[in-house]
Each structure stands twice: as structure tokens, then as C-alpha cells.
Copies of this chain bind each other. A is one copy, B any other.
Amino acid sequence: MRFGGVENVILGAVHKGCSSGYAIKQLVDDATRFFWAASYGQIYPELRRLEEEGLIVGSFGHTGARERTEYTLTDAGRARLREWLLEPSAAYELRDEGLLKLFFADAVRGEEAIGVVRNMRAERERILERLRAIDARGVAKGFPALALEYGIEQHEWMVDWCRRVEARLAAKDEGVAA
């Protein structure tokens, strides 16, 4: 089943001006990794595949005397990107160890369950900090305002949810103890 995972990341990144595999990887690590990761092992082979398909073209360039391949979108590539952007999305996959633990948290005692939520909050707070740091150093790195805003506000919501639940569980625990 062809899923086209990296394809769209690369098309989008090249559109944004990332001309080398290295530059694409940087954009991924700085930004898209929060909702779509990619490694060199995917990027370089996929760049060649996309060139074969005629969606991008590479030309020889250089930084000083150091060689690099400079990719740009072809008309077909731009059309493909546009088409993909306008069609409804299907892929939404989450792998969240914190939630998985919350799901199984009835296997530990009440006070310990609070710890599960607290740990979950701590993770979210770490991610939130990283997102805010990106925000602080500006949109310079190519992180569009909307996607970043979404990330920050969602993590704020998550932290808040955890806090509320912690309070509820603590109240319940006291009730039991009393």
C-alpha cells in the first residue's frame, strides 16, 4: 500500500525554499517533526524518486566550492502539492505513552495514579517549552504562525487538563482517606 508519507513533506519543503536534502532535514527537525517526522534514510532516496517522477528537478549548485544538489519544484510538482493540500486528509496517528498509561492506570493505587497524570503533564510541559522557544526566536525558521500557534495552544490545553484531573484525583483520594 503506497502511502506517500515523505513525498508531501518534501514537496512542501522544496516549495518553501529548501533546496537540498540537508535543508529539508533541518526544516523537518525544527518544525514538522512535531506532527510529521522524516529521516535522511527516507529523504535522499525519495528525492531521487520524485525527480524520476518529474515532480522536482535537481541541478548542481555549490556553497563555496562544496557541491550540493539544488532542487526546485516542476509545474507537475506544484500541481501535485496543490492537489494534495486541497484534498481531505486521512492520516491521523498518535502514539502517546502517557495516554496509554492513563488508560491502564487502574492497575496502580489512587495516589500512584496521580503520579501517572503528573508525569504526563511534565512531558507536555517539556514539549510546550520547546514550542515556545521556537516562537520566541521568531517565525524565521520557517514555522508558519498557524501551525505553531496550534501546537502551543494545544499543549497549553493538555497541561491544563492534566492539572484539573490531578486536582480531582487528589480530592477523591482525600475523600477516601477521610
Residues of A at the B interface (CB closer than 8 Å) are: 8-9, 12, 15-16, 31-32, 34-37, 81-82, 84-108, 112, 115-116, 119-120, 122-123, 127, 143-144, 146-147, 150, 153-154, 157-158, 161, 165
Contacts and interface: CB of A to CB of B under 8 A. Distances in A.
A92 to B, nearest CB: 5
Contact of A108 (B34, B85, B146): B85
B32 A103 contact: yes
7 contacts: A12-B100, A81-B104, A85-B101, A86-B112, A86-B115, A93-B93, A103-B144
Given A36-B96, A94-B93, A95-B35, A12 B157 contact: no
Contact of A31 (B94, B103, B122, B157): B103
A88 B31 contact: no
Contacts of A104: 8, 12, 15-16, 81, 85, 144
